[in-house]
Amino acid sequence: MDNLAPPKPGARPASSFVYDKAFVNGEWVAASSGKTFEVVNPANGKVIGSVPDMDATDTERAIKVAYKAFQSWKETTAKERSTLLRKWANLVNENIEELSKLLTSEMGKPLAEAKGEITYGGGFLELFAEECKRVEGDIIQTPVKSRRLLVLKQPIGVSGMITPWNFPNAMITRKAGAAIAAGCTVVLKPAEDTPYSALALCDLAKEAGIPAGVLNVVTSSRNNAGQVGKTICESPLVTKMSFTGSTAVGKLLLQQCASTVKKVSLELGGNAPFIVFESADVDAAVQGVMGAKFRCSGQTCVCANRIFVHESIYDEFVQKMAVVVEKDLKLGDGIDPGTTQGPLINKKAVEKIEAHVQDAVSKGAKVVCGGKSKGGNFFEPTILTEVTNEMRCSREEIFGPIAGIIRFKTEEEVVGLANATSSGLAGYFYSRDFSQIWRVAERLESGLVGVNEGVISTPDAPFGGWKESGLGSEGGRYGIEEYLEIKYVCMGGLQ
């Protein structure tokens, strides 16, 4: 690994977390084929290392291992699981600096954002260490004196998971932390771009004492990803599937899971509106949109995708936002001090953003700042004005640093436009009209709503989308419910 400063005293160096093996049954293992694939730093194109390119055969083995481990893990007490999860969380927090450097090297986000993600990820482990002790059943009032009606909650079983590259630490802890807390075992495929953060978590889970077979990570290249995912979805030994990624892939996985009627959690694409009403504090709204739009270089599913600004403050908002973009955003390698905008994940992502800008300009949009690629995987933070609903950047998930700003006149108009999408993950708006705040918060068709806030994710709150943005919720006290089954027990013959 390059450009990494020495670790602080007592912490492990980031390079010690770079494994060239996958993690199955508590051991570091190669692919049965012996094949590997390279992992590249998106900021400089340098190879970080290589990991096993596993296939269906390797995945089936991991599933069998997880199924065997489940038979004993499900019998552990909540207190036992809580203690191990707490140890795991503590180890993550102790190594936050080095885990952050590792994450930045394989994903590209600025080091400060990487530290934020590791803290966020550790927060899920802490949360579920507590929530597993709060899983409770119920006693239902009986209509028959000789019966007692009980409700039990029990772990669902082996849980398959596929996680994305944009949050390679936190999306794993949010899923696997909940599953393990519930008493389930895990078979997880991390994104091919960012396997090292997943393997680092395995290392720390093992150190924390989480038993062999409870957490298993199968690495694969893009070429083998399809068969690995299909194997997880169609295996009768896997009873739960959780996926975060594109809507198209989510739909395919849902179809594959239908053959065994799995319980499925999906967190899919977004097309988040960000609305600035005429009563808004414009300066606060500008700061809010900076976090909602340009965090992770615009590569999050909850990023502001369509920015609606009331016509009475449109010009003021654009002017102030342009000043902040030019002043506060610095493009560069995420490991370098002062960088706020790292690279996009790969060249294909850059080409997509270039196409969005070209499409918008050809249809009448104006480039206020940015608008160009800067070599390699870098693209300038970009503001587009006079954006309309006919442009691709209004209709498609951008997943990059383009802020397209749209005028609107009335609340009714803008809420209608905000909801005119098949996505329903996140929505944001700024207003100081108390009645309007209640109206719009209730009318937005999305699972997450930020009111006068641009960054709203926290381990303590549920995270899930409406419409084609997903199924189920992760995080908070609701997250563990996704990995539990409800069992009704009728006790009869009582005197």
* Residue 11 confidence (pLDDT) above 80: no
Q: What is the pLDDT of residues 315-356, one digit of tens each?
A: 999 999 999 999 999 999 999 999 999 999 999 999 999 999
pLDDT in tens, 460-493: 999 999 999 999 999 999 999 999 999 999 999 9
DSSP state of 312: T
- What was the pLDDT predicted at 3? 45
128-147 pLDDT, tens digit each: 999 999 999 999 999 999 99
What was the pLDDT predicted at 13? Answer: 76
Residue 119 CA: distances (Å) to CA of 173, 204, 458, 469: 11, 15, 10, 26
* Nearest to 177, CA basis, from 67, 103, 89: 89
CB 219 within 8 A of CB 30: no
Q: Is the dihedral of CA 254, 257, 262, 265 positive or negative?
A: negative
Q: Which of 113, 131, 267, 411 is catalytic?
A: 267
Q: Per-residue pLDDT tens for 304-318?
A: 999 999 999 999 999
Of 213, 241, 237, 215, which Cα lies nearest the Cα of 229? 241
At a CB cut-off of 8 Å and minimum separation 6, what does 442 contact?
none
> Average pLDDT, stretch 20-28?
98
Find tokens 């390699």 and name the residue: 376
Cα–Cα nearest to 153, from 128, 140, 134, 130: 134
Helix (H), strand (E) at residue 478: helix 476-479
What pLDDT was estimated at residue 308?
A: 98
The whole model's pTM is what? Answer: 0.95
Q: What is the pLDDT of residue 10?
A: 53
* Structure confidence by residue, pLDDT tens digits, 231-243: 999 999 999 999 9
Helices and strands: H and E segment counts in the chain: 15, 22
What pLDDT score was predicted for residue 258? 98
Share of the chain above pLDDT 90, in %: 96
| pLDDT higher than 70, residue 172 | yes
Task: Please give the mean pLDDT across all residues of the chain.
Answer: 96
- Confidence (pLDDT) at 15: 77
Residue 214 has pLDDT above 50, yes or no: yes
Distance (Å, whole) CA 274 – CA 310: 11
Q: Which residues pair with 131 in a beta bridge?
A: none
Per-residue pLDDT band for 2 (boundaries 50, 70, 90) equals: very low
- Residue 462 CB-half CA count within 13 A: 18
pLDDT one-digit tens code per residue, 374-399: 999 999 999 999 999 999 999 999 99
Any idea which of 6-20, 216-230, 234-248, 398-412 has the lowest mean pLDDT?
6-20
pLDDT digits over 248-286, tens only? 999 999 999 999 999 999 999 999 999 999 999 999 999
94 in catalytic set: no
Q: What is the CA radius of gyration of the chain?
A: 23
Over the stretch 68-125, which tens digit does the pLDDT of each residue have? 999 999 999 999 999 999 999 999 999 999 999 999 999 999 999 999 999 999 999 9
DSSP 8-class letter at 403: E
The dihedral built from the CA positions of residue 410, 384, 456 and 279, taken in this order, carries a sign that is negative
Give percent of the chain with pLDDT exceeding 70: 98
If you average pLDDT over residues 191-216, what whole number do you get?
Answer: 98
Given the residues 301, 393, 468, 482, select the one marked as catalytic: 301
| Fold that domain 14-268+469-487 belongs to in CATH | Aldehyde Dehydrogenase; Chain A, domain 1 (3.40.605)
* Residue 404 · residue 252 · CB < 8 Å: no
DSSP codes, 314-343: HHHHHHHHHHHHHHH--BS-TTSTT--B--
Q: Are 146 and 493 in contact (CB under 8 A)?
A: yes
DSSP strand pairing (272-276 vs 426-430): parallel
Is 267 assigned a catalytic role? yes
Q: Across residues 426-436, what is the average pLDDT?
A: 98
Indicate the domain borders of the chain: 14-268+469-487, 272-458
Q: pLDDT for 158-171, tens place per residue? A: 999 999 999 999 99
CATH for 272-458?
3.40.309.10
CA–CA distance, 132 with 166 (Å, rounded to integer): 27
Confidence (pLDDT) at 16: 83
pLDDT band at 6 (very low <50, low <70, confident <90, very high): very low
Q: 402: which strand partners?
A: 382
